[in-house]
Amino acid sequence: MPMRKVEWTPSVTEGEARTGCLSIVRVDEQGNHIDRIKKIDTPCFFLGSRAGAPPNFTVDIWNEFKKKCNAVQIEAETISQFGRGIHDFIAVGEKQNNFRPRGKPEATGEERLTETAIYLSFRDPLNYNSICNVDGLAVSNDAFSFVVRQRGKMKLTTHQGVKLLKDLDGDLIESISMDVPYHVTSKKMRRSVDVSIHILDKILESNTGNVLGVIQGGSDERSRTVSAKETAKRNVCGFVLGSFGLGEDLSQQSQMIRWILPHIPAEKVRFIPGIGTPLQILEAVSLGCDVFNSDYPHLIGEYGQAIIFSTDASVDRPYKINLRDRKFQLDQEPILKGCTCYGCQNHTRAYVCHLLATHEMLANVLLSVHNCWHYLEFFREMRESIGRGGFNRFKETFLERYYSKAEE
Amino acid sequence: MSEDKPVALRLEIVARWGKARATLLHLPHAICETPMFMPVGTQGTIKGLTSEQVEDVHCNLILGNTYHLGHRPGPEVMKELGGLHQLMNWKRNLLTDSGGFQMVSLLQLANITEQGVVFRSPHDGSEMVLTPEMSMQIQNCIGADIMMALDDVVSTVTTGPRVEEAMHRTLRWIDRCVEAHKRPHEQNLFGIVQGGLDMDLRSQCLKGLVERDLPGYAIGGLSGGESKHHFWRVVDKCAAELPENKPRYLMGVGYSLDLLVCSCLGVDMFDCVYPSRTARFGVALVKTGTLILKHREFSKDFRPLDDECQCMACRNYTRAYLHSLVVQKEQLAGQLLTAHNLTYQMDLMRGIRNSIIEGNLDRFAQKFIDLQFPNGDCPSWARDALKSAGIDIQ
């Protein structure tokens, strides 16, 4: 039975910032390469999902996004019983014939590479306040509990957790670990490292190829260093910088990243979930992070706002607009002129303003679509800037324009 | 028919079976195949669906609500934006109600006088009047392909002189509506037959409206809690007496059994919030009735909602997935189930239409009843109604 393996190949670096390509390949039991099934350019953003789809995204909208973004969370037990893996269950990626969307032929060749890859995490990708809770764990007795379900905690043994990950059959698997907020005791930080390494070893015993090790240790330099070094010794396909976006400020964020990165090999992918504003992302990219995930673009939409910032120095545009503002009720322009998202191609600011005023569901749909699309565009532009050696200027221009005044 | 009366529609009868008929209704933005179901998009959107997704369920006509749209964004903004088609980017047909019904259903303080519907504004408490002229003015700004006359609606359980008064007032108001309607070449004004459950009043109202030679007629004031035995008899009588060459619209009816029965009785158009509202409560409509997806039995059910349905939900997802969305109260559940339920309604209407054309409406009706009532417990009113339409249910 072929297994998934994750590879990352670097292409251009500018300072510490780097572009590369994340590939999901299939290998046989001896580890021989069979074929490449997915390809994702980095730096990139994984859209978070709730209950198996990004909020408000139906399958047709999701299809539109495939070329831009790849990646998606769901109640694990059910999928285990479904028996055909998560891709089929949530209708993403390698679907069965009878579940293909209308008029869409089976993906072949290059096209398959743009099918959505699924990243399995134990932390809610759209609610970073709820952290993976491994409290109550005694490392020796092999039992741990954490928040997986919206209906509460579920107790799993390591063995069950490992089986779950296997049944889900995701493309990338984040090892189960213990997240800690920025301000906790250093004893707790050290514990988070021990627990996370312990579980990682258990997972690696039975699963190979596509497991990312999570580096914990909170805001304690020594713990972070130990965690990074220990994780780097193991056979992981990449690294997750854990416990970010949990109360640290920008300089503390950078500090923690700087503690970690020197101790992990450069040739593997670095995922930093939990940080999401363009400012935080530009900072993390400049330090060498590759993959991001946060609730930021969805959250902006929930406030009735659309992000329209421009990374082009010659274009003068505000960072975002508040479409609840009645000044837009006669505005027949799309949310952002020239934007190719479904909302901008089909609807006007006046309509979104009306939908918000009347509390209609479609407002959330159109705003989520636009904000995610625009955000993914920002990542594309960022990759291009690194590609042509202009990332520093890209970053400076952006900070100058949008962060010099107290604008967001 | 006088040639000089402006109309913006043409009705082409394609086939008949007993009292039922299949027609092509040519409207300004698309040709509609009847009998048809028209989904309700109260505030300029079918809850949660994109215009494209509504087109995907093969829907050619949706409803907008004059009371709600008249309040937000309001007629001035609507006019400035070029109408509701423009605002919501909907390229097919629209129908708007008169706005009167909401005044009665939503507002406790509504009072009907000869001038119009007097109500207290829910926003600032001031007294306002919706006159036939105002209703026309707002509907002209919205610009729907079909607009409804302001009528005097009384609850079907009301009896006595109030029903008669309402019927007469409806007739007096229709003249004010026709007079005030500024865009008869682009928008079709339908009259609404009132008269409660009284057959004589219904007849009188209907005759009065038909004398005015309107582009189409609606049967109003039903599905308000009256007994189904009365309901079908009123529908039957109105459908029989309305002119052959004009579309017939039964307002507020959307349960699948009612759609089948009333199509057999000769009604062409239906509207109801039921399929989309019930979807948001996690209920899917299927050939055998309904699936209440929050029930645990669906948590491990890996079949689609319906094997044959071509909708986005059935083509891509299992009942187990939809169950997980419903129990987690995801908005997506409502979106997917609305798409499914509307597809179900459209498929049902297409089935009825095709069987009229193919001449086997009786067999279609029998099959429908067998699936929905496998224990032979089809309600007696439906049997009676179908019998009057020439269909004997076994």
In this structure, are B294 and B160 located in the same domain?
no
CB pairs under 8 A between A and B: 124
- Chain A residue closest to B46 (CA)? A362
* Span A165-176, average pLDDT: 80
The predicted pLDDT at position A71 comes to 41
Top-confidence residue, B184 or B158: B184
Closest by CA position to A46, among listed A72, A67, A65: A72
Residue B1, in any domain of the structure: no
pLDDT top residue among B123 and B19: B19
Instruction: Work out the pLDDT band at A408, boundaries 50, 70, 90.
Output: very low
Structure-model confidence comparison of residues B57 and A66, the more confident one: B57
In this predicted model, which residue has the larger pLDDT, A155 or A7?
A7
Determine the residue among A92, A168, A365 to mutate to test chain B binding: the one whose Cβ has the most chain B Cβ atoms within 10 Å.
A365
Among A185, A235, A195, which residue's Cα sits nearest to residue A216?
A: A195
Closest approach of B330 to chain A, Cα-based (Å): 8
Domain count of the fold of chain B: 2
In the prediction, which pLDDT does A105 show?
43
In CATH, what number does A3-294 get?
3.20.20.105
B230 annotated to bind ligand? no
| Domain edge (last residue) among B224, B240, B273 | B273
Same domain, B239 and B343: no
**B277 touching chain A per CB within 8 A:** no
Clarify whether residues B283 and B359 are in a common domain. yes
> What pLDDT is stored for residue B7 in this prediction?
84
> Nearest 5°: phi and psi at B125?
75, 0
Contact list, A58 vs chain B (CB under 8 Å): 53, 312, 332, 335-336, 339
Q: What are the residue boundaries of the structural domains of chain A, listed by start? A: 3-294, 304-402
Q: Residue A97 above 50 pLDDT?
A: no
Tokens 């095709």 sit on residue: B354
Q: Does A47 touch chain B (CB under 8 A)?
A: no
- Contact (Cβ atoms closer than 8 angstroms) between residue A239 and residue A173: no
Local confidence band at A99 (pLDDT 50, 70, 90 cut-offs): very low
B153-161: long-range pairs with CB below 8 Å, 24+: B153/B100, B153/B101, B153/B104, B153/B194, B153/B220, B153/B221, B154/B194, B154/B196, B154/B221, B155/B224, B155/B225, B156/B196, B156/B197, B156/B221, B156/B222, B156/B224, B156/B225, B156/B226, B156/B230, B157/B224, B157/B225, B157/B226, B158/B196, B159/B196
Residue B324 lies in a domain: yes
| pLDDT for position B213 | 96
Taking the CA atoms of A166, A168, A171 and A173 in sequence, report the sign of the dihedral they define.
negative
Is A285 at the interface with chain B, CB within 8 A? no
Q: Is B194 annotated as a binding residue?
A: yes
Q: Which two tokens stand for residue A79?
A: 């999928």
**Lowest-pLDDT range, A151-160, A165-174, A361-370?**
A151-160
Q: Are residues B381 and B307 in the same domain?
A: yes
Query: Given this model, what pLDDT does residue A303 score?
Result: 95
Model confidence over A219-270: pLDDT tens digits?
999 999 999 999 999 999 999 999 898 889 999 999 999 999 999 999 999 9
> B182 and B295 share a domain?
no
Task: Give the pLDDT confidence score for residue A398 in this predicted structure.
Answer: 95
Q: What whole-number distance in Å separates Cα of residue B369 and Cα of residue B382?
A: 10
A30/B contact by beta carbon, under 8 A: no
Distance CA A229, CA A226 (A): 5
Best of B315, B322, B326, B327 to substitute, by most chain A Cβ atoms within 10 angstroms, is B315
Residue B77 has pLDDT above 90, yes or no: yes
Q: Check if A75 contacts B (Cβ < 8 Å).
A: yes
Mean pLDDT of A47-68: 70
Last residue of a domain, one of B273, B308, B329: B273
- Tell which wins on pLDDT, A49 or B184: B184
The pLDDT value given to residue B1 = 43
| pLDDT over 90 at A136, yes or no | no
Out of B273, B305, B328, pick the residue that ends a domain.
Answer: B273
- Classify residue B340: in a domain, yes or no: yes
Confidence at residue B2, expressed as pLDDT on a 0 to 100 scale? 44
Residue B3 belongs to some domain of the structure: no
A350 touches chain B (CB under 8 A): yes
- Please indicate if any CB of chain A lies within 8 Å of the CB of B11: no
Q: Is there a domain that residue B124 lies in?
A: yes
Instruction: Give the mean pLDDT of chain A.
Output: 81
A21 is in an annotated binding site: no
Least confident of B11-25, B65-79, B315-329: B315-329
Neighbours of B273 (CB within 10 A): 17
Is B88 close to A351, i.e. CB distance below 8 A? yes
Residues in A closer than 8 angstroms to B44, CB to CB, are 351, 354-355, 358, 360
Buried b (16+ CB within 10 A) or exposed e, B308-343: ebebbbbbbbbbbbbbbbbbbebbbbbbbbbbbbbb
Shortest Cα distance from B316 to chain A (angstroms)?
Answer: 5
Strand partners, B26: B10, B31
Q: Which of B180, B151, B181, B156 is nearest to B168 (CA)?
A: B151
- Are B39 and B72 members of one domain? yes
What ipTM was estimated for this complex?
A: 0.94
**Mean of the pLDDT values across residues A181-190?**
87
The CATH number of the domain holding residue B39 is 3.20.20.105
- The Cβ-side half-sphere exposure at B260, using a 13 Å CA radius, reads 25
Do residues B128 and B33 share a domain? yes
- Nearest-Cα distance to chain A for B236, in Å, is 37
> Residues B152, B258, B268, B271: which is the catalytic one?
B271
Q: Which of A118-127, B38-47, B78-87, B231-240 has the lowest mean pLDDT?
A: A118-127
Q: Do residues B259 and B297 both lie within one domain?
A: no
User: Annotation-wise, does A354 bind a ligand?
Assistant: no
> Does the distance separating the beta carbons of A346 and B51 come in below 8 Å?
yes
For testing the chain B interface, which of A58, A327, A342 should be mutated: the one with the most B CBs within 10 Å?
A58
- Distance of alpha carbon B293 from alpha carbon B286, whole angstroms: 12
Q: Three-state SS string across chain B, please? A: CCCCCCCCCEEEEEEEECCEEEEEEEECCEEEEECEEEEECCCCCCCCCCHHHHHHCCCCEEEECHHHHHHCCCHHHHHHCCCHHHHHCCCCEEEECCCHHHHHHHCCCCEECCCCEEEECCCCCCEEEECHHHHHHHHHHHCCCEEECCCCCCCCCCCCHHHHHHHHHHHHHHHHHHHHCCCCCCCEEEEEECCCCCHHHHHHHHHHHHHCCCCEEEECCCCCCCCHHHHHHHHHHHHHHCCCCCCEEECCCCCHHHHHHHHHCCCCEEEECHHHHHHHCCEEEECCEEEECCCHHHCCCCCCCCCCCCCHHHHHCCHHHHHHHHHCCCHHHHHHHHHHHHHHHHHHHHHHHHHHHHCCHHHHHHHHHHHHCCCCCCCHHHHHHHHHCCCCCC
| CA atoms of B361 and B20, how far apart (whole Å) | 9
Residue A255 has a CB neighbour count (10 Å cut-off) of 14
Q: With 70 as the cut, is the pLDDT of residue A151 above it?
A: no
B263 with B283, same domain: the answer is no
Q: State how far the Cα of B176 lies from the Cα of B136, in Å rounded to an integer.
A: 9
The number of angstroms, rounded, from the C-alpha of A57 to the middle of its chain's C-alpha atoms is 16
Please report whether residue B352 resides in a domain: yes
CA distance B275 to B345: 8
Q: Does B87 touch chain A (CB under 8 A)?
A: yes
Q: Do B50 and A362 touch (CB under 8 A)?
A: yes
Does the annotation mark B271 as catalytic?
yes
How does residue A153 score in pLDDT terms, banded at 50, 70 and 90?
low
CB contact under 8 A, A354 and B330: no
Answer yes or no: do B202 and B287 share one domain. Answer: no
Does B66 share its domain with B129? yes
Q: What is the mean pLDDT of residues B160-178?
A: 94
Looking at the complex, report in whole angstroms how far the Cα of residue B187 sits from the nearest Cα belonging to chain A: 23
* Sign of CA pseudo-dihedral B359, B365, B367, B368: positive
CB B46 within 8 A of CB B342: yes
pLDDT, tens only, A272-293: 988 889 999 999 999 999 999 8
Higher per-residue confidence, A101 vs B376: B376
Q: How far is residue A190 from each of residues A130, A237, A259, measured CA to CA in Å?
A: 20, 24, 15
Among A103-117, B163-177, B369-383, which stretch is predicted with the lowest mean pLDDT?
A: A103-117
Instruction: Enter the pTM of the model.
Output: 0.91
Do residue A360 and residue B332 have CB atoms under 8 angstroms apart?
no
Would you say residue A135 has pLDDT above 80?
no
User: Which of the four pLDDT bands, split at 50, 70 and 90, describes residue B44?
Assistant: very high
- Tokens at residue B251, please? 């307002």
Determine how many CB atoms are found less than 10 A away from the CB of residue A102: 12
Report the pLDDT value the prediction gives residue A119, as an integer from 0 to 100: 79
Give the CA distances from residue A188 to residues A181, A218, A243, A244, A258, in Å, rounded to whole numbers and listed in that order. Answer: 10, 9, 13, 16, 21
Residues B231 and B326 in one domain: no
Name the residue range of residue B121's domain: 10-273
Q: Which two tokens stand for residue B264?
A: 């057999």
Q: B282 in contact with A at a CB cutoff of 8 Å?
A: no
**Residue A198 known to bind ligand:** no
Compute the nearest-CA separation of B319 from chain A (Å): 10
Q: Does residue A104 surpass a pLDDT of 80?
A: no
Confidence bin at A83 (pLDDT 50/70/90)? low
